[in-house]
Amino acid sequence: MAVRKGLGRGLDVMIPNKIAAPLPEKEPEKEQNTEQKKPAESTVTAALQAEVPADGTLMSVDILKVDRNKQQPRKKFDENGLEELADSLRQVGVLQPLLVVKKGEYYEIVAGERRWRAAKLAGLKEVPVIVRDLTAQEIDEISLIENLQRQDLNAIEEAQAFKRLKEEHGMTDDQIAEKVSKSRAAITNSMRLLKLDNRVQEMVIDEKISMGLARALLGVEDSEKQYEMAQDAFDKRMSVRDVEKLVKQMNAPKKADRKKQDLTQYQLQFDEYAGKMAEALGVKVAVTLKDKNTGRLEIDFYNTDDFERLYDRLK
C-alpha cells in the first residue's frame, strides 16, 4: 500500500503494508489451547504474522462471515476497477489482510472493503483478516485515513467523514487536521461543501462537476438557482473561472438598486428634518427626494387661518 508521507501516523502498525505470499491451504486443525489468541500456524504465514500489532489476531475466515462497515466513508466503488482486482485475486489470492473487528458471529471491515468486494467477485471462499479490538472513533479514524492515503474518497465523501469525526466524536477542526495531516482551513472548506444542494453534491460525487466549481457555487444561496447553474456548467463545460464570474455578477447589486439604496439613506435624513419641521409648525410635513440633491417639500394646512399662520411663520 502506497502511503503518502505524513498521513495516518500509526496506520502502518494497524494495517500491514508488505506484500506477502498467499495463505497456504488449510491443514487439519490441531488441538489448541482455548485461551490462545493466535490461530493455528497453518492459517498464518510467517511474513504476515510478523506485521500483526500486539493486540491483533491474524487469521483466515469464511468470506460470508465478513461484512462491510455501513459507516465507511467511501460509498462508491469503480466497477471496472473491482473486476480488474478480482482477476488478480483469482491468480494470487488476497495478499494483504483486511482489518476487521468482531461483531458477534461476524467480522466488520475497518479497512479493506475494496479487496473484500473483489474477493467476492473472484469467488474466493476465505479471506485473511487481522482482528482488532477498536473503539468506534478509532474505526472511523482508520477508515478515513486509509481512504485518504489511497485518495479513494471524492470531495463529498471526505467532507462527510470529517463531519462525522466532528459531530459524533467531538473532535475539533484542529484535531481532525492533525489526524489527517491537512490544514485547519482545508478541513473547514471541505465541510462547507455539505451546504450545497443535495443534487449538486451528487453531481460532485458523479464527477460531473469539480470540487473547485462546487466551491464557486457556494456563493449562490438559492438552492434551485444553485442546481440550475451546476447543470448549466456541466452542459456547457464551463470552467471554475466562468462560474465564479457568473456568481459574482448575480450577487452584484444592479445599478438601479444601488442608486435606490443610496437614496434611501438620504431619505432617512430628510425624514428626520421633516419631523422636526412638523413639530415646530404643528402640521404634517413631508419630503420626497428625486435624487440626493433635489426633491419636494410638502406642508399641509387645514384652513385659511392655518395657511396664514404658516405663511407668517415661514415669512
User: Known catalytic residues?
Assistant: 113
Tell me if 246 sits within 8 A of 229, measured CB to CB.
yes
Do the strands 126-132 and 98-103 form a parallel or antiparallel pair, or are they unpaired? parallel
Residue 47 CA to chain centroid, in angstroms? Answer: 38
Which of 212, 253, 56, 66 lies closest to 142, judged by CA? 56
- Report the side by side order of strands in the sheet with 106-111: 56-62, 126-132, 98-103, 106-111, 66-67
Helix axes 173-180, 136-149, angle to 10 degrees: 50
| Neighbour-count burial of 136, counting CB atoms closer than 10 A to its CB (0-12 exposed, 13-18 middle, 19+ buried) | exposed
- Beta carbons within 8 Å of 243's beta carbon, 6+ residues apart: 213, 216, 217, 229, 233
What are the grid coordinates assigned to 54, written together? 500486539
Q: Cα–Cα distance between 281 and 309 in angstroms, integer?
A: 9
Helix axes 173-180, 155-167, angle to 10 degrees: 130
What are the grid coordinates assigned to 272, written together? 428626520
Q: Is residue 43 helix, strand or coil?
A: helix
